[in-house]
Each structure stands twice: as C-alpha cells, then as structure tokens.
Amino acid sequence: MIDNNGGMASVAISSYDISSANTELARRAGYVDAQWALPAINAVELRRLQRRSNLHATLSTSLWLGLTVIAGFAVVATAWSWWSIPSVAVYAALYGGASDSRWHEMGHGTAFRSRRANDVIYYLACFMLLRGPTIWRWSHYRHHTDTIIKGHDAEIAFQRPPSIARTLWRFTHLQGGSELLLRLVRHAGGRLDDEAKELVPAHERRRVVLESRIMIGVLLIAVIATVVLRSAIPVVLIGGSTFLGGWLVVFFGITQHAGLQENVFDHRLNTRTVMMNPVFRFLYLNMNFHVEHHMFPSVPYYSLPSLHGEISSQLAPALPSTWAAYRQIIGAFRRQQVDPNYEIPLELPKIEGDARPVEIGAESWMRGPSGEVIVGLETSFGLGELRKVDIGRHSVVVGRTESGSLFACEGWCTHAKVHLGEGAVIGEEIECPKHNARFDCRTGEATRKPAKDGLTTYPVTVSKGRVSVHLVGIDSVGS
C-alpha cells in the first residue's frame, strides 16, 4: 500500500532532460514503473465506462473537422480584409489548438471503436501539431507510466523554477513551434536527438525518419504553393496555424499538472481536474477530467464525466472553474520562484494503493477431474467481461469477447507489469488498462503498440454449463 503522499525518499535528479543517465537515476530511486494509487470502482460500472462508441467519436470529430474546413474557407474568402483576423483566429485555434486533444485521444486509441479511425485522426492531428507520430506515442506511454517523474517524463511542460515571463512567452508558441519544426527537419535528415533515442525503441527509429520526411514534404508543398501563387494563404492554412493556434494547447495544457507535486505515485497529487464550460470541453475533449484520465486511461473521453461521478469522493476536490485553476497555478508559480520545492498542499481521502477494480482470485476456481480449472458458470460471464483468476503462481485472465466467445490468456501485459484483468474488451481484442496496447483474444497476438510480444492463450471449454480453462504447458499450477 502507498500512503497518500505516494512518494519515496527524495533523490536528486537535477535536470528535466530525458537522458539515459537520468533514466538510470530515476530507476535506482524506484521512480520507474512504480505502483500507483488507484481508487476503488465497481467492476461492472468500469466495463460500462470503457465502452467505445464510433457514433460519438464520429459526430465530435466531424464537428471539429467541419468547423475547421468552414473556417479555412472563411480565411480564403476574407483574405486580407479585417474579417480575416477572426477567420484566421478561429481556424488556427481549431487547427493548431483543438487538434491537441484529438491527438491525445486518438493516440490512446480510445475515441473510436475502430482502430483505423483512431490512427487516421492521430496522424492528421500529429501533422497539425508538427509532432512526429512515433516519438510522441512513446513519449506519451512514458508520461502515463511515470507521470511527472523529473528527468524521466518527457512531457513535463512547466518546469521548476517557473517564470511568469517565460510562461507568458510560451503562449505565443513561437519558440515551441520552432523547436518542433526544427526537430522534424533534424529527424528528416536522419539524425535523431538524444530524447528520441531514449524514448523510441531501435526497431522504430527508421519510422521516425520516414514520418518526419513526409511531414516536411507536405509543409514544403505549402511553401511552394505560397511562392507560386504569391499568396500567404497556403502557409497560413498548412503549418502556419500550428504557431497561431498553439496558445490554446498551452491554455488547456497548463491546467493539467503545473505547480503540483513531482516524483509521487498518486495522480491526485500531480494532476488536476478542473470543471470547464461546454465549449472548452468540446475543444479539449473532456481532458479537464485529467486525474480520472490518468487513473483509468481505458475510459474514453465521453465517459470521463461519468467516471468523475463514480470516483470523485476518493479524489481531491476538482477546481470549480478554469479561472480557479489559473489562480491556483499563478499562486504556486509565485511561491516556487522563491522556493522551487514548494508544492500545492492537498488533503486527500485515504485509498488503497493496490486497490484493483477486478479481483476474483484464488478462491474462485476449482480443479476439475481432468486437471482443468473451472472458473465459473457460463451464464455468469457477460459480454465484454474480464476476470482475473490467480491459480497458484500463475495469473490468467478469463473473459468473453463482444461477439460472445469465451477466452483465456496469461494475465500480465507483455509491455510492463500490469494486469489485463483491469483492461477492456474491445470487439475480439483485450486492451491493456495502462497504455492501451491490444491483444487478439483468440490468438494472443499483440495488435497494438506498445506491446510487441503476444500473450499465451489457453483452451476454454464449457461442460454442463461450467467454464473450464486448460492450462496447457503449465506443469504445476499449485493451489
């Protein structure tokens, strides 16, 4: 169990740089792949919240893309009258600002049921933000594994000691956008920076180069069009609006973690949930429920308000408005300018660090006459249900796909030590609750990153209404 401070003895990692040296320091300090506090939640309710809806994601994505296209036409139609100022402002906010939350949700693969639909919008949003798709996937995996661990999490956007002037400057996105562009150019030239080498596994690095070349190629076409047409419109519409709309990324992004605690293992201490109005929530895709998202990344954005309702009594009180969040952040920044170790104090309700939403365990199985493991009545397995079943030293997950097939596979994700019994069934696949890797329930094949290796699967039979798992290849399961 982890106490509510969730931290360990402080270890000096002096910089925020992502390097192998800092990774080693963080690892030795026990900051890497730690067990994080989780609130209790009813397993049936969690399954309901994990459900994916192509309809919801299609409507929301169509609205965002539709508004972006309309605003783009307005930019062309009004160029360059006074009306072009609001046209460009709206287009840029949608293109270079609201794309951030789409990048995020599609990167998790949770918005659409369709993996391909998530990927298509993910690549589009990456281009709009000038983010290399593969690097940022790996960066975000780590952000979720080791959130706000100094020198290890590559997405600590507001670092200490903070500077009000530097923070205001960031809203222009001139520096941030330029750095992203230069990074793409460098990677397109085949030279990966140290952070990319640290984050991206060797077998994916060529992909980083290829993606960068494609993105730079499209940007160059926009530049050539601008020169040929003698009009700034192509570069404003493609690429330029990443800079012009980047302020919105900062506007929402600062509310996520700024001013909160570092090197702790409790998202309630390093992450903020802020109540926002419907327009902000559309632009930001409900990421204002950020604590909830970090605790349960398998819950899609449209179910985060309901998840908040389920677990809010176990969290710190949500900030009542965006303004309240900014007041808290500015106050923390002022204190941290004087004392960089200052952290916003929070009173938290006690929760069990190893609380898990799904727990069946060793008591819930019986040995059958032929050595099979009987795990329950067939009628007790609902569609999309998963059960963690511990059998001696082994832990398996038994479940039913959405089409009704029963399956059993090894319980632990092959990417890291996370149990799949807490994950979600999406169609015929099982999704890891931590970084949303997916596996084919029938074959165990890894079908979505970051998992590379597949799972061992076990035959399942039904006899006299009872579900049995045959642990082939496991000589002694103990009991």
State residue 273 phi and psi, 5-degree precision: -105, 130
User: Interacting stretch for ligand FES, rule CB under 6 A, among 95-103, 113-121, 240-248, 427-435?
Assistant: 427-435
Residue 18 binds ligand FES, judged by CB under 6 A: no
Peptide bond into 450 cis (omega under 30): yes
Contact 302, 53 (CB under 8 A): yes
Residue 434 binds ligand FES, judged by CB under 6 A: yes
Q: How many residues bind ligand FES (CB under 6 A)?
A: 10
C-alpha of 313 from chain center = 23
Binding mask 175-204 for ligand FES (x = CB under 6 A): ------------------------------
- Minimum distance from CB of 465 to ligand FES (Å)? 33
- Binding to ligand FES in span 53-72, by CB under 6 A: none
Q: Tell which one of 151, 234, 376, 450 touches ligand FES (CB under 6 A).
A: 450
Q: Tell which one of 90, 315, 318, 432 touches ligand FES (CB under 6 A).
A: 432
- Minimum distance from CB of 257 to ligand FES (Å)? 20
- Minimum distance from CB of 141 to ligand FES (Å)? 7
User: Interacting stretch for ligand FES, rule CB under 6 A, among 161-169, 264-272, 367-375, 434-442?
Assistant: 434-442
Residue 388 binds ligand FES, judged by CB under 6 A: no
CA distance 26 to 62: 42
Residue 6 or 411 having the CB closest to ligand FES: 411
Residue 372 or 431 having the CB closest to ligand FES: 431
DSSP state, residue 239: I
Q: Tell which one of 130, 180, 307, 437 touches ligand FES (CB under 6 A).
A: 437
- Minimum distance from CB of 415 to ligand FES (Å)? 3
Element (H, E) at 463: strand 460-463
C-alpha distances in Å from residue 164, one per residue of 331, 444, 447, 479: 11, 50, 44, 60
Binding mask 403-422 for ligand FES (x = CB under 6 A): ----------x-xx-x----
> Concatenated DSSP letters for 289-334?
BHHHHHH-TTS-GGGHHHHHHHHGGGSPPPBSSHHHHHHHHHHHHH
Which residues make Cβ contacts (< 8 Å) with residue 444, sequence separation at least 6? 409, 410, 454, 455, 456, 457
How far is it between the farthest Cα atoms of the chain?
Answer: 83
Structure-block tokens of residue 326: 């900014």
Structure-block tokens of residue 413: 């994700």
Residues in contact with ligand FES by the rule CB under 6 A: 413, 415-416, 418, 432, 434-435, 437, 450-451
